Chains A and B, each alone.
Chain A
């Protein structure tokens, strides 16, 4: 089932494609006899769910923390990324003695369905054709991603997860988990997220997808067969998206109008400004670790997310009877998932008298704040998990 590396791919692309099919992490293989029935009514199987774990599961399996990752993240939450060799994306938060303390908790982080680091996605080989799925991959939803994670949790023999936590799209999965599996989620921490994807956010995603699809190397989604990668399109998509993860203040403070290398304008379209050079770098490093079709599918899944609409247009109905304890977190400078969208979740939870905490953290770093070491945010997570752990009867 391995991809035969196509000669014209560079080493980085080959390494990435190898990870998409035979990941360095743990993998759960679900046979064709146990397929996933997707929201689009198609059946997908066999499937692989790549995941990483940290810490140890206790005897009564009550200390599991499920981390749901965001759009372009992966299972390497607290360990080196096999392609980029960079540290885990949330190492400040997850590890021994960290707020999500791997000395106390058994941390599970799966690569999402539709991803490209080992879970089944458009870059995976379709067993029926022996070629990558490409656009033959079905359009998936946040709910489908969670269904796949449920299979993993079943496989690990865990009845109730102590905490499901995630930021951005990870937060959407947290909400979906708590809504459809409240008995299996003791506490839930949706961070910098929303119960439905706003028009503005859909618009930004559409810009990104159009950039990918406008790249001739995208080849109608079949670039792998042609030995190509739509690097330019995906890089532009990433550049545009990256702006939305920051804030005007943060960009201004970091770059202002500072010039690159030469102290003068070059009267050309070179990257005169530092901010241009920074964005180009963000774009070019991204294409080395991410599959363009995965980007299309995952952004689509986020666009489709509307938890209220699935419950008769009343978001509170999504949480009726919930037993889960919630800690909703937003950031003042996040304009992609602004505080008012978190507040909507809180209002819905209040409407069903759920046990909910809500904090807004003052930051300057925009949506990306949830990935940074914000002391107030970390103290909140630590305090909430400690208190919930006491309620759950976990050892301190």
Chain B
């Protein structure tokens, strides 16, 4: 069961804890953009998963392998084509899709490689971002999106509504979706997508390919 509130100051990122709750124990997991391997480690410790990672930064890859994680240096845009269909139970992309060159192709690949895809992303529809753009007339810089527009790796920012549209476009269905804010507070499930889009700073979607497609 999803808990209502997640400890905000724990050692783990909120979206990681949410993802860990979505993953079945013992699953085969591919974490695309796995960073320092925090999520892979969390999943291995709490869900005894068989995990693999892909990470762009060479230093981070080496740190992961040194920690005993199975990680390769690679790129979500380029290297996902190599993986066979349904090779994993879950293909995960945490806070990375906005930094890919071709988010739609990446999402299609995730849904092809994994029985489930789990995607978390910063929500550009959050009220603070809307306010900042409205009031300053400049690209918002928030705690979630700290870089200036020219320095940001985020080439394809989207809102929760935008992402939901993409899910339909790639013929996937939403198994679960959770929006939350940086303090870790989860928005009530009963909230409409418009409210989630207004008050959620980040979101995690559990997706799978529609049957018969």
Contacts and interface: CB of A to CB of B under 8 A. Distances in A.
Interface string A347-364: 100111101111111100
Contact of A380 (B50, B62, B74, B84): B62
Contact of B65 (A346, A347, A352, A359): A359
Contacts of B149: none
A359 B73 CA distance: 6
15 contacts: A325-B70, A347-B82, A350-B83, A351-B82, A352-B84, A353-B84, A353-B87, A353-B88, A355-B50, A358-B61, A358-B73, A359-B61, A359-B65, A386-B68, A390-B68
Interface string B57-83: 010011011111111111000010011
A380 B65 contact: yes
B58 A362 contact: yes
A198 B84 CA distance: 27
A379 interface: yes
A387 B71 CA distance: 13
Contacts of A359: 58, 61-62, 65, 73
Interface string A315-348: 0000000000101100000000000000000110
B174 to A, nearest CB: 26
* The 10 A-B residue pairs with the shortest CB-CB distance in the complex, in nearest-first order: A387-B68, A383-B66, A353-B87, A358-B72, A350-B82, A357-B65, A347-B82, A379-B66, A357-B70, A359-B62
Interface string A15-44: 000000000000000000000000000000
B104 interface: no
B52 interface: yes
Contacts of A356: 52, 70, 72
A376 interface: yes
Contacts of B74: 346, 358
B70 A383 contact: no
Contacts of A376: 62
A380 B87 contact: no
Q: Which of B61, B66, B67, B88 lies at the interface centre, i.e. has the most chain A CB atoms within 10 A of its CB?
A: B66
B83 A351 contact: yes
A273 interface: no
Given A359-B58, A380-B62, A350 B68 contact: no
Given A350-B82, A362-B58, A355 B66 contact: no
A384 interface: yes
Contacts of B79: 347, 350
Interface of B: 50, 52, 58, 61-62, 64-74, 79, 82-84, 87-88
A228 interface: no
A346 B58 contact: no
Contacts of B58: 359-360, 362
Given A351-B83, A352-B84, A360-B73, 5 more contacts: A358-B61, A362-B58, A379-B66, A383-B66, A390-B68
A126 B22 CA distance: 66
Nearest to A390: B68
A353 B83 CA distance: 7
Interface residues of A, number: 27
A357 B84 contact: no
A350 B82 CA distance: 6
A109 B71 CA distance: 28
A369 to B, nearest CB: 14
B84 to A, nearest CB: 6
Contacts of A327: 65
B73 to A, nearest CB: 6
A382 interface: yes
Contacts of B62: 359, 361, 376, 379-380
Interface string A370-396: 000000100110111011101000000
Given A351-B84, A353-B84, A380 B66 contact: yes
Contact of A382 (B66, B69, B72, B82): B66
Contacts of A328: 72
A356 B87 CA distance: 13
Contact of B71 (A347, A352, A357, A382): A357
Nearest to A355: B70
A383 B72 contact: no
A380 B72 CA distance: 12
B194 to A, nearest CB: 40
Nearest to B58: A360
B83 A384 contact: no
B47 to A, nearest CB: 16
Nearest to A361: B62
Contacts of B69: 357, 387
Contacts of A361: 62
A376 B73 CA distance: 15
Contacts of B72: 328, 346, 350, 356-358
Contacts of B84: 351-353
Contacts of A383: 65-68
A9 to B, nearest CB: 48
